[in-house]
Amino acid sequence: MQETTKGTSKPTSAGESGSQKSSALKPWVIAGKLLPLESRQTVSVERATDTQFQAWLVAAGLDDLVDDDGIVAWSFDDRVRVINFALRAGRVVPFVEEQNNSNNSENNSESELLEGDEQAQEAV
């Protein structure tokens, strides 16, 4: 006679290794990300002052992820944690690189990139 066991675990969406995909960024990647400041300047996550990082958090609408008064002294680990928490929660985390994609040379076709060279050769 064969018995079935109730309450056994069912297959999940986890990968073969058992770990689920994460949208978390590595600390060294986050360190180099540029934050847009109100003064139209940028500063890296790593080098931003506590005040600059808190202001960016508020401007990005991510201030609800921390205490009402914010964090007075943002360690780098705290910055990494809040950014990764926001990403995992599906929140938009605005970095300068993501806002200025239209200026990337990847968006230009090869003919557009070579136009200047052709015009320069014609002038000679």
Judged by DSSP in three states, 43 sits in strand
The string of pLDDT tens digits covering residues 42-62 is 999 999 999 999 999 999 999
Report pLDDT for 94: 92
Cα angle: 91, vertex 81, 54; to 5 degrees:
75
Judged by DSSP in three states, 18 sits in coil
Domain residue spans in the chain? 39-92
Neighbouring residues of 122: CB distance < 8 A, sequence distance ≥ 6: none
Closest by CA to 56, choosing from 73, 43, 75, 69, is 43
The string of pLDDT tens digits covering residues 23-42 is 789 999 999 999 999 888 99
pTM > 0.85: no
